[in-house]
Amino acid sequence: MNLWAIFIPMIYYVLPQRSGRLTLLAICVAVVTVDFLRLHVNGVKEGFILFFGSFLRRHEFTRLSGATYLLLGCLVTSLLFRKPIVVVACAYTIIGDTFAAILGQNIKSPELFKGKTIMGSLGFLLVSLAVAVVIYYLPDTLPMKPLIIGAIAATVFESLPLPLDDNFAVPILTGLAMCFF
C-alpha cells in the first residue's frame, strides 16, 4: 500500500513546478540509492529487512520495491505533463492503489486479471472519483471532465496486466489519457 506517498502530490501542488520536480528528483535519487544498496550490499539488506521487511512483498526482496517504482513513475509524470495533471495522476495512483488493495484483499470478488479483482477496481474508481471532487474545488486545477476521464483511465490501467510495474506505469498513462481531454 502506497498511502504514505500522498505527500508527493501534496508537495507538488504547493510548490512551483520546477521546485516540485527538483524535490521529487532528490527524493528519487535517495530512494533509488537506498533500494540499490538494499539489493546489493548485505549489511544494508539485513538492516532494511529488519526494519522494513514486513512492508515488502515477496518479490521485492530480490527486485526494486514498489515505492521506488512509484517515485520513479511520479518523477517521469512530472517531467512529461503540466502541474495539475501530475498532481491528479499521482494522487489517483497513490490513493486508488491503497483502496484497491484493501478492498481487493479483504472482500471476495471475481478476478479481472492475476491479482486484480472487481472489488479492488471498484474501490480504486470510487476513491479516485472522490479525489476528483476534492481536487476540482482547489485553485488552479482541472475541469471536472478530465478529472473523471483520469479517474476512469487510472482504474483501467491499474487493473490491466501491464508489462511494467503498475506503480510506475499508471501515473504516466493516466497523465497521457488526461492530456486528450
Is the model's pLDDT at 174 over the cut of 90?
Answer: yes
Range of the domain at 52: 3-179
pLDDT of residue 44: 78
pLDDT tens, residue by residue, 80-127: 999 999 999 999 999 999 999 888 888 888 888 888 889 999 999 999
Tell me the pTM: 0.89
* Distance in angstroms (rounded) separating the CA atoms of residues 99 and 117: 12
Tell me the residue type at 87.
V
pLDDT tens, residue by residue, 131-168: 999 999 999 999 999 999 999 999 999 999 999 999 99
pLDDT of residue 175: 97
* Distance in angstroms (rounded) separating the CA atoms of residues 155 and 147: 12
What cell was used for 23? 524535490
- What is the domain count for the chain? 1
| pLDDT band for position 55 (cuts 50, 70, 90) | low
pLDDT of residue 71: 95
